[in-house]
């Protein structure tokens, strides 16, 4: 939780096991085979101290910097979001997953990084797995492993509004993520209404 790692080693695995309301944010430059994973816990640091990867508003710029330092090219960076679930029905917990998702999208939008695909929302925990140069996937308990990004899939950057990004992500990512994207769209709708 609140950790961040970048790798350039082909075939190396970056894993975040058991993401609940947290977000596993993957940023990757597929061309160069560089990827990073941040385990984001809360939407906004609001000036509090702590590891930067803990808060969406700090984690996104920090992960971008770390990838650039490892040699990635900013214009080729693409994002995948995994997690942001609502694990419990009671209390304020329910809000955190949604708020995390929206905060990460916002920060990515602000940095001009396109979202390639997402597996967010719902009420199940997920494990995020990045195999450098090969694949980004998400898996819930008892569920199939969803491939969310791989070099075979055509990359097409889109930098519009949040809604625009989701539409293009649907084109790109295919049937597997359609369900996830529906959830994401629903989340987005909730978010828009609240905002």
The residues of the shown chain that bind other proteins, judged by CB under 8 A, are: 1-3, 17-22, 41-42, 48-51, 54, 85, 87-93, 96-97, 124-127, 141
Cβ 24 vs Cβ 37: under 8 Å? yes
In sequence order, which ranges of 89-177 are alpha helices (DSSP H)?
Answer: 93-111, 162-173
Pick the closer one to other proteins by CB: 20 or 109: 20
Question: Shortest gap between Cβ of 70 and other proteins (angstroms)?
Answer: 21
Return d(Cα 29, Cα 77) in angstroms, integer. 5
Angle at 34 between CA 31 and CA 37, to 5 degrees: 130
The nearer residue to other proteins, 2 or 157, going by C-beta atoms, is 2
Query: By C-beta, is 80 or 172 nearer to other proteins?
Result: 80
Closest to 17 measured CA to CA, from 82, 70, 67: 82
Give 35 or 85: the residue with its C-beta nearer to other proteins.
Answer: 85
User: From CA 54, how far away is CA 58, in angstroms rounded?
Assistant: 8
The encoded tokens of residue 57 equal: 């508003």
CB of 25 vs other proteins, minimal distance in Å? 15
Q: Measured from the CB of residue 36, what is the shortest distance to other proteins in angstroms?
A: 16
Least spacing, CB of residue 128 vs other proteins, in Å = 11
The two three-digit tokens of residue 117, written as one number: 């695909």
């Amino acid at each position: 939780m609140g950790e961040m790692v970048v790798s350039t080693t082909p075939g190396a695995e970056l894993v975040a096991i058991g993401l609940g309301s947290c977000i596993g944010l993957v940023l990757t430059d597929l061309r160069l085979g560089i990827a990073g994973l941040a385990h984001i816990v809360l939407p906004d640091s609001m000036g509090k101290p702590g590891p930067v990867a803990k808060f969406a508003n700090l984690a996104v710029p920090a992960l971008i910097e770390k990838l650039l330092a490892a040699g990635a090219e900013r214009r080729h960076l693409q994002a995948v979001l995994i997690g942001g679930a609502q694990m419990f029905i009671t209390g304020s917990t329910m809000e955190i997953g949604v708020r995390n998702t929206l905060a990460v999208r916002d920060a990515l939008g602000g940095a001009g990084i396109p979202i390639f695909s997402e597996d967010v929302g719902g009420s199940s925990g997920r494990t995020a797995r990045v195999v450098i140069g090969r694949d980004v996937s998400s898996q819930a308990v008892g569920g199939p492993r969803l491939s969310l990004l791989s070099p075979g899939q055509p990359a097409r950057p889109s930098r519009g509004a949040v809604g625009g990004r989701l539409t293009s992500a649907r084109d790109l990512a295919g049937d597997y993520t359609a369900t996830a994207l529906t959830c994401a769209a629903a989340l987005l709708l909730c978010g828009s209404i609240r905002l």
